[in-house]
Amino acid sequence: MHLTTHLRILFSLIGFLVLSSHISYGQEEIERQDNFLAVGINYGIDFPAGDLADRFGQNFHAAISLDLYSIKMKGFLGLESNFQFGNKVKEDVLAPLRISNGAVLGNDGAPATLFLRRRGIYVGIYANKTVLPFKHNNLSGLTLGLGVGILQHNLRILNDTNNAGQLNGDYLKGYDRSTRGPALKQTLTYQRIGNNRSMNFSLGLSITEAFTNSVRAINFDTGLAGDTGRLDILIGLEAKWYLPVKSYGAPQEIFY
């Protein structure tokens, strides 16, 4: 999908959540009284910084999480995983294979149809807390979050014509710049928690700092060892929808 398509998806999701929240404010709201387990669905855009900005441009991410909300804590504890994808690649690992016109020749002597793409994954645990609640709902408001996990990213080479033998199978590993390391994540969001199943969501910013090293012993295009001691940073804008699947806690007492 093109960049505009991904942006349309992201802003449509944000618009839906904001509009639904605005409509619900016009109704009498009962504050949620029970803890609950939810499945989280997240979509966002990331802008690279640090060493990552030398290799890639912006990317999008789609995420899923398992989240436990605590009324007492006014926040979530969760396990999250996101998949990152983009087509902005700044590092041309195929440069040594190109001829004067920029093409890479395949085994049959014809130009190979090749595309460079960014791929990545983040897996981690997190906790957040509403630190500046709104008057109409004590559980909703400005929320701070902290997380720790592992970030991995790599360069994917798409060989549509499948005629470049030097880029097939295990040979691809010498060009993919696969990189991995521990990461820290911070979030600043507006989080909305209510009794309505569709009205549990967050909108905001995230920053991820990963301390990574190359997974490959050597890069075939340079003949040198992979990078070590990298600082890869992602600055993200994201929307997340929590879908409650189970409630916990004693039921409310009913007096007659």
The pLDDT score that the predictor gives to residue 91 is: 93
| pLDDT given at position 13 | 56
Structure token pair of residue 215: 């997974």
- 11 has pLDDT over 80: no
Residue 82 has pLDDT above 90, yes or no: yes
Instruction: Please report, to the nearest 10 degrees, the dihedral formed by the alpha carbons of residues 230, 235, 240, 246 taken in order.
Output: 40
Tokens of 4: 């505009």
Q: How confident is the model at residue 256 (pLDDT cuts 50, 70, 90)?
A: very low
Q: What is the pLDDT of residues 199-253, one digit of tens each?
A: 799 999 999 999 999 999 999 999 999 899 999 999 999 999 999 999 887 445 4
Residues 236, 43 contacting (CB under 8 angstroms): no
Q: pTM of the entire structure?
A: 0.85
Determine the longest span between alpha carbons in the chain, in angstroms.
87
Residue 62 in this model has a pLDDT that exceeds 90: yes
Average pLDDT, the chain: 87
